[in-house]
Structure 1
């Protein structure tokens, strides 16, 4: 039988699953979404979902090699987010 696992569609996780995947609370992930600092998400059928690839890419943004590396801007809202525009 041929292996068809590589032809599967992307896996999407709802907020609680995505938060567990990242080791965060669901509320923390919701706050990141509100402030525009979290992973890319989609709305499908009125539900917020995250692709595993997007979660991994977002987690990789926090990769550091030393505690002396700059990190103070890690959680600022994205420049084009409504929250950032409101604070200008």
Structure 2
């Protein structure tokens, strides 16, 4: 069996001093669209997936947030494929770099 290719270079991380919640007037808040490029085959993705899930819960409570999750295909291996992955999503991520 051919091993999976190594992960791509790590994306820049958010500063650690950003508060988890920000008090603000919801009517005046701008729209936020966070994008997560992820994969079921990525061992370091679950924390990011959980964070996006929390962001989605905030959007359901009225915050102006539209969280998006794109499953990339470069973690797929012979014999295993992330059923949600797409080469289009991998290309979209590459366009962001």
Q: What is the TM-score normalised by the length of structure 2?
A: 0.24
Larger RCO (CA within 8 A; separation ≥ 6): 2
Greater helix fraction, Structure 1 or Structure 2: 1
Q: What is the TM-score normalised by the length of structure 1?
A: 0.26
